[in-house]
């Protein structure tokens, strides 16, 4: 059967819902679609997962670099005001040397048929981790534990532990089965600790020293502001001929962690080394 072409005219209240249903490509198709667009000379914004394997991700990055095209991952959380502020404070040294990163995105959610809990939820938090980390703290290895208590043939509850350089550690807890929705990220430094409650309507950041400082409200319309940030960054990268904040090399770093997760699961949670870098890292 020949595929049908569809055009959505107008994007009012209901238009985005129609567009989303007509254009929801499955995760396993992202690589082929993105590669085809790059080979056609188009700039590409890819929804997560960036690709299904590191080898696919490397090919996308290499193609974009060879053709001098912008390849960007839609890691939308990295463009919220809260995460951008976290990145700024960390890079300015306000927290001191990073000691730990702890993130808990849990929800009674839709069990995905084609990806497990790590690819569905942990990808967001690993992208945040990659975005806010200072240079030199990139993870060399990963350990993971997962469980499938409802029998869907892939983990629905999981824990990812990523040792960071300098003795620091990061931890992400993901869960499709939680009766309560939680989105909390804590970044601890030698001098101060940042806490982001992603479900707080005011989207406040709290910075703890001896007392508590509230930074905010930083963003009262999280989804709208984040998507606008994605679009602005894509446009800026195209105009300035540069790598976006969440460009292909950033997506590849996240992909390397996700691809290592099943190897750690198969080894009983043992920490395993990430695949060696086959593509030169771009400037962050």
Q: How confident is the model at residue 9, as a pLDDT?
A: 73
Please write the tens of the pLDDT for every residue from 142-158: 999 999 999 989 899 99
Residue matched to tokens 């009674």: 108
Cα 147 from Cα 151, distance rounded (Å): 9
Please write the tens of the pLDDT for every residue from 9-40: 777 777 777 777 766 877 888 999 999 999 99
Q: Which residue has the higher pLDDT, 133 or 27?
A: 133
Give CA separation, 145 vs 101, 260, 266, in Å.
Answer: 18, 12, 9
Query: Does the pLDDT at position 284 exceed 60?
Result: no
Query: Does the pLDDT at position 220 exceed 70?
Result: no
Q: How confident is the model at residue 282, as a pLDDT?
A: 39
CB proximity list for 89: less than 8 A, separation 6 or greater: 95, 194, 207
Domain ranges for the chain, please list them. 26-75+228-273, 81-220
Model pTM?
Answer: 0.85
State percent of the chain over pLDDT 90.
Answer: 57
Give CA separation, 78 vs 3, 73, 192, 260, in Å.
Answer: 35, 10, 21, 22
CB proximity list for 26: less than 8 A, separation 6 or greater: 114
Q: Which two structure tokens, joined as six digits, stand for 213?
A: 């400082």
Cα 37 from Cα 158, distance rounded (Å): 34
Q: How confident is the model at residue 251, as a pLDDT?
A: 93
Give the distance, in angstroms, between the CA of residue 58 and the centroid of all CA atoms in the same chain. 17
Q: How confident is the model at residue 238, as a pLDDT?
A: 94
The secondary structure of the chain in percent helix, strand, coil, rounded to multiples of 5, reads 35, 25, 40
Query: Does the pLDDT at position 217 exceed 60?
Result: no
Query: For the structural domain made of 26-75+228-273, what CATH number should be given?
Result: 3.40.50.720
Q: How confident is the model at residue 258, as a pLDDT?
A: 94
Q: Does 81-220 match 26-75+228-273 at the fold level?
A: no
| The domain defined by 81-220 carries CATH number 1.25.40.340 | no
Q: pLDDT category, 277, cuts 50, 70, 90?
A: low
Please write the tens of the pLDDT for every residue from 64-114: 999 999 999 999 999 988 899 999 999 999 999 999 999 999 987 777 777
Cα 98 from Cα 65, distance rounded (Å): 32
Q: How confident is the model at residue 212, as a pLDDT?
A: 58
Query: Does the pLDDT at position 264 exceed 60?
Result: yes
């Amino acid at each position: 059967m020949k595929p049908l072409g569809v055009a959505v005219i107008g994007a009012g209240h209901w238009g985005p819902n129609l567009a989303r249903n007509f254009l929801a490509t499955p995760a396993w198709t992202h690589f082929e679609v993105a590669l085809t667009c790059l080979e056609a000379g188009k700039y590409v914004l890819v929804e997560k997962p960036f690709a299904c394997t590191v080898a696919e991700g490397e090919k996308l990055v290499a193609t974009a670099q060879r053709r001098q095209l912008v390849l960007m991952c839609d890691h939308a959380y990295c463009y919220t005001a809260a995460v951008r502020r976290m990145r700024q404070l960390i890079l300015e040294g306000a927290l001191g040397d990073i000691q730990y990163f702890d993130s808990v995105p849990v929800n009674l959610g839709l069990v995905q048929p084609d990806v497990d809990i790590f690819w569905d939820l942990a990808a967001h938090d690993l992208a945040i981790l990659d975005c806010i980390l200072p240079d030199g703290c990139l993870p060399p290895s990963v350990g993971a534990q997962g469980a499938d208590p409802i029998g869907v043939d892939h983990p629905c509850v999981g824990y990812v532990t990523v040792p960071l350089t300098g003795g620091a550690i990061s931890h992400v807890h993901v869960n499709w089965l939680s009766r309560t929705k939680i989105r909390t990220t804590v970044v601890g430094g030698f001098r101060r600790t940042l806490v982001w409650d992603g479900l707080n309507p005011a989207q406040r950041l709290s910075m703890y020293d001896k007392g508590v400082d509230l930074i905010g409200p930083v963003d009262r319309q999280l989804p709208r502001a984040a998507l606008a940030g994605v679009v602005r960054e894509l446009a800026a990268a195209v105009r300035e001929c540069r790598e976006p904040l969440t460009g292909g090399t950033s997506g590849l770093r996240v992909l390397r962690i996700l691809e290592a997760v099943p190897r750690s699961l198969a080894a009983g949670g043992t920490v395993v080394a990430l695949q060696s870098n086959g593509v030169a890292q771009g400037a962050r």
